[in-house]
């Protein structure tokens, strides 16, 4: 069979094209391999990766709070204050004592365990912090030493959330303000608050000495102001008050606002809700506590004074 005149020419051209294609492909593959090997060598030898370690100083607030918790727990376990101080220095906090006190107060508001509260209070005390919460929950100097023979050691039961632990008696106590309860609509409001009468022969640790409506000015919220006194009329810190309303309960403790009185605590009222209040240690229950209206049109709250029998 006779081939076309240009057959050999076309065949030769295709052969050259295939050779050029494989030549270019080979060069590309070789260049790619050289590039990868060179990049690895540069990364390992010339520009090695510097190890980066996150410092607590750049943590988000949530992780800073957790870091403080871990430091307080480590201090409680080991008693090594130098190690705790070194860890705290990593936070680079110029106002660290106050930061730890604020964390302690948050623990009280959230009802954290008594152990967590005590450990955070110890950390704050070691930093030289001051505050009402420390007077009750921080250990006293020399705590843990054996008492003298024949001398009883007084104890104080402190309730935080649902947990209770026995602590050595401290000079003052701590209250905590818990969040304002969510208003519940359409609740029947009693016309006048009254104290629940005692059963015949019953003797409670505290009695209701005074109950009065208090006018609030300047747009301040209406509150239940509670004063707890001992037999000599002195404020008693660390007494827990139970507030209840239809569908909920809450608790707060005397002693945090010692600028008012050692036995003082308050609770913010919400409109449309009728509350009752009593001391957890035992007292008459005062019910029908609602936001009132004074003659000048301002809101009114309530002041309750309980005395020790």
- Find tokens 């209040």 and name the residue: 277
pTM metric for this prediction: 0.47
Burial of 2 per CB tally in 10 Å (0-12, 13-18, 19+): exposed
Half-sphere exposure of residue 186: CA atoms within 13 angstroms, side-chain side: 0
Nearest by Cα to 133 from 228, 279, 266, 237: 237
Confidence of residue 289 (pLDDT cuts 50, 70, 90): very high
Tokens encoding 248: 């909920």
pLDDT for the residue numbered 169:
42
Lowest mean pLDDT among 29-38, 130-139, 264-273: 130-139
**How high is the mean pLDDT of the chain?**
77
pLDDT for the residue numbered 170:
40
Confidence of residue 158 (pLDDT cuts 50, 70, 90): very low
Stretch (H or E) spanning 289: strand 286-289
> Pairing state of beta strands 223-229 and 264-268?
antiparallel
Confidence of residue 21 (pLDDT cuts 50, 70, 90): low
Cα distance between residue 129 and residue 122, in whole Å: 10
Share of the chain above pLDDT 70, in %: 71
pLDDT for the residue numbered 32:
86
Nearest by Cα to 238 from 162, 163, 166, 159: 159
The predicted model gives 64-71 an average pLDDT of 93
Cα distance between residue 37 and residue 254, in whole Å: 72
Rounded (10°) CA dihedral 108, 166, 262, 76: -50
Which structural domains are found in the chain, ordered by start?
Answer: 56-141+153-168 (no CATH), 194-308 (2.60.40)
pLDDT for the residue numbered 211:
95
The predicted model gives 186-193 an average pLDDT of 44
The predicted model gives 115-131 an average pLDDT of 87
Q: List CB contacts of 51: < 8 A, sequence separation 6 or more.
A: none
Confidence of residue 27 (pLDDT cuts 50, 70, 90): confident
Nearest by Cα to 193 from 210, 174, 172: 210
Identify which of 158-167, 178-187, 200-209, 225-234 has the greatest average pLDDT: 225-234
pLDDT for the residue numbered 24:
73
Tokens encoding 153: 């050691």
Identify which of 13-22, 53-62, 163-172, 173-182 has the greatest average pLDDT: 53-62
pLDDT for the residue numbered 180:
47
The predicted model gives 268-293 an average pLDDT of 93
Cα distance between residue 116 and residue 119, in whole Å: 5
Lowest mean pLDDT among 51-65, 77-91, 212-226, 250-264: 51-65
**193-216 confidence digits (pLDDT tens):** 555 555 555 678 999 999 999 998
Confidence of residue 246 (pLDDT cuts 50, 70, 90): very high
- Find tokens 């057959």 and name the residue: 7
- Alpha carbon of residue 286 to chain centroid: 30
The predicted model gives 5-11 an average pLDDT of 65
Tell which phi-psi region holds residue 291, choosing left (phi > 0), alpha (psi between -120 and 50) or beta.
beta
Confidence of residue 241 (pLDDT cuts 50, 70, 90): very high
Question: DSSP letter string over 33-87?
Answer: HHHHHHHHHIIIIISPPPP----GGGS-HHHHHHHHHHHHHHHHHH--HHHHHHH
**225-237 confidence digits (pLDDT tens):** 999 999 999 999 8
pLDDT for the residue numbered 154:
39
Longest dimension (CA), the chain: 135
């Amino acid at each position: 069979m006779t081939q076309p005149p240009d057959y050999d020419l076309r065949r030769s051209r295709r052969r050259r094209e295939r050779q050029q294609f494989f030549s270019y492909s080979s060069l590309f593959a070789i260049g790619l391999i050289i590039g990868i090997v060179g990049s690895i060598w540069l990364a390992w030898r010339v520009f090695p990766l510097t190890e980066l370690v996150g410092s607590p100083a750049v943590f988000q607030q949530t992780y800073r709070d957790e870091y403080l918790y871990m430091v307080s727990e480590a201090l409680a376990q080991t008693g090594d204050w130098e190690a705790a101080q070194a860890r705290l220095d990593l936070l680079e906090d110029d106002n660290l004592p106050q930061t730890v006190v604020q964390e302690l107060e948050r623990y009280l508001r959230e009802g954290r365990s008594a152990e967590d509260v005590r450990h955070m209070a110890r950390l704050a005390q070691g930093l030289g912090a001051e505050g009402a919460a420390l007077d009750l929950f921080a250990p006293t100097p020399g705590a843990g030493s054996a008492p003298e023979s024949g001398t009883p050691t007084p104890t104080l039961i402190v309730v935080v959330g649902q947990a209770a632990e026995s602590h050595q008696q401290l000079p003052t106590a701590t209250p905590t303000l818990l969040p304002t309860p969510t208003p519940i609509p359409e609740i029947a409001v009693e016309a006048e608050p009254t104290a629940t009468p005692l059963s015949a022969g019953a003797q409670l640790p505290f009695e209701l000495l005074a109950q009065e409506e208090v006018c609030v000015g300047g747009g301040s919220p209406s509150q239940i102001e509670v004063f707890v006194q001992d037999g000599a009329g002195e404020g008693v810190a660390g007494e827990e008050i139970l507030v209840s309303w239809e569908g909920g309960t809450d608790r707060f403790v005397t002693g945090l606002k010692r600028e008012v009185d050692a036995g003082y605590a308050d609770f913010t009222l919400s409109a449309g809700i009728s509350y009752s209040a009593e001391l957890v240690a035992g007292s008459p229950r005062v019910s029908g506590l609602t936001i009132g209206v004074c003659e000048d049109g301002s809101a009114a709250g309530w002041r309750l004074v309980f005395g020790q029998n």
